[in-house]
Amino acid sequence: MGREKPVLEPLTYIVDEPSAPYVLLADEALLAKVRHIRGQKVMLDRDLAERYGVEVKRLKEQVRRNMERFPEAFMFELTLEEDHALRSHSATLKQGEHGKYRPFAFTEHGILMLSNVLRSERAIAVSIRIIDLFVRMREALFVHKGILLKLQRSERKVDGHDADIRTILHRLRRLLDPPREPRERIGFKPGKA
């Protein structure tokens, strides 16, 4: 018999430590941290470090020590322009923080690899939840894409029938309300003999 695939609960809570209370990690909070950069859905190092419970500096150290695990498809460093654009859209820096270092952006695969590099139970639990979120986002996109394709096909069919429908409606209107032509009067007509 094959191994059964584990069933993941909805993304509501993760465990910080076995003895610690649950830490809220709602879908909405995670979704707010997923960004679309260079055509990919990614999460930034500062957002992941916060969730993993480590300093951004430590997270980056581990990544730099293990660069062979992070090809461009897994992780890339933002340009200064990209970082500035992100910061101008949302106030991410607190008073006294500086942004002289460009952030790393991790794809779904990079987040999974990051849990292997950090090796803490919390990092593994958070990574599993984030990967689950990415998977569900991809599934939702797939479902919506199917619906969109069906709508486009229906639209093309309807577009071809517009002229036919107009003709049918025009003829129906004529049947319901035929044009009134002047009719010849019946009966006595003065002046005609």
User: Domain segments of the chain: what residues?
Assistant: 13-91+100-146
Write out pLDDT tens, residues 4-55: 544 444 443 443 344 433 344 567 777 888 898 998 889 999 999 988 888 9
Burial of residue 166 (number of CB atoms within 10 Å: 0-12, 13-18, 19+): exposed
**Which pTM value belongs to this model?**
0.57
- Encoding tokens for residue 173? 């209107």
Burial of residue 151 (number of CB atoms within 10 Å: 0-12, 13-18, 19+): exposed
Q: Is the pLDDT of residue 174 over 60?
A: yes
- Encoding tokens for residue 49? 């470090």
For the four alpha carbons of 118, 75, 144 and 5, in that order, the dihedral sign comes to negative
CA distances from 70 to 113, 118, 192 (A): 7, 13, 106
Residue 163, pLDDT score: 74
Residue 90, pLDDT score: 59
